[in-house]
Amino acid sequence: MSGIPTTTVHDVADDALLIDVREHDEWEAGHAPNAIHIPLGELPVRLEEIPETDGPLGIVCRMGGRSARAVAWLAQQGFDVANVEGGMLEWHRAGKQITGTANPQII
Active site residue 61: yes
Of 61, 68, 74, 88, the catalytic one is: 61
DSSP 99: B
Q: Would you name the residues annotated as active-site residues?
A: 61
